[in-house]
Amino acid sequence: MSEIEILKVVALILALAIAIIGHEIMHGYIAYKYGDNTAKNAGRLSINPIVHIDPIGTILVPAILYFSPANFLFGWAKPVPVNMQTVIRNGGYGAAIAVALAGITFNIILAILFATIYPLVLNPQSLTSAFFTMFVTQTIVINVVLAVFNLWPIPPLDGSQAIHFLALKFKWYKVAQFYEKIYPYGMFILFGILFIPQLSQILFAPAGWILNLILP
C-alpha cells in the first residue's frame, strides 16, 4: 500500500469517527440540556472513541462498504442512552424532536463548515497538505451521507424518531402507533434496503445532489 493510500484510509477513519461519535454525543448533550443525566452518568458525553464503538456500525459495516463496489461510506456509533420521558417531562415533545435531530444537525453543520474550507485545500503541495485535503473531503462526504441516511423515516433512525414525536405532539396517533408497531422490525427493513442497490441508490440520491453542489 502506497503512502497516499495509507493517508487516504487514515483520513477516512478519522473523518468517520468524528462524524458518528459527534452525532451520538449531541443526542446526549441536548437531552442533558433538558434535564436528562443518563448519557452523562454513563460517561457517554466523552470524546473518547472507545466508549462509543459499536462492533457492527463502527467497524463491520464501514469495512464491508469500503471493500465493496459501493461508492459511499457510512456507519454509526453505539447509541447514547437517553431517557425521553425525562426530556418530554421537562421540554415537551418539541424537546424530544430536538434530541432526535441533534445528531443530524451536528453532521449538517460540520459538513457546511468543512465545505467553506474545501476551496482552500484543493492544491496540496506536500503529503501533509494532501492528508488535510483528503480529511476535509471525507469529512464533507461522510457527514452529508450520514445526515441523509439518518433522515430516512425508518426505525431506529433519527428521522423516524422525529416523526414519531411530531405525531404525538400533534395527536396523529395512528402515525405514532404505526411506528411503534414496526419498530421491532426496523433493523431488518434497514438492512434489506441497504443491500438492495437500486433501492439504496434512490434513498441516498439526495446526498449525491448535495455533494454535487459542494464538491466539484
Catalytic residues: 24
Cα separations in angstroms, 7 against 67, 132, 134? 17, 9, 8
**Are 78 and 24 spatial neighbours (Cβ–Cβ below 8 Å)?**
yes
Nearest to 99 by CA among 127, 79, 71, 120: 79
Cell representation of residue 179:
411506528
Residue 145 buriedness (CB in 10 A; 0-12 / 13-18 / 19+): buried
In sequence order, which residues have a C-beta less than 8 Å from that of residue 59 and are 6 or more positions away? 53, 75
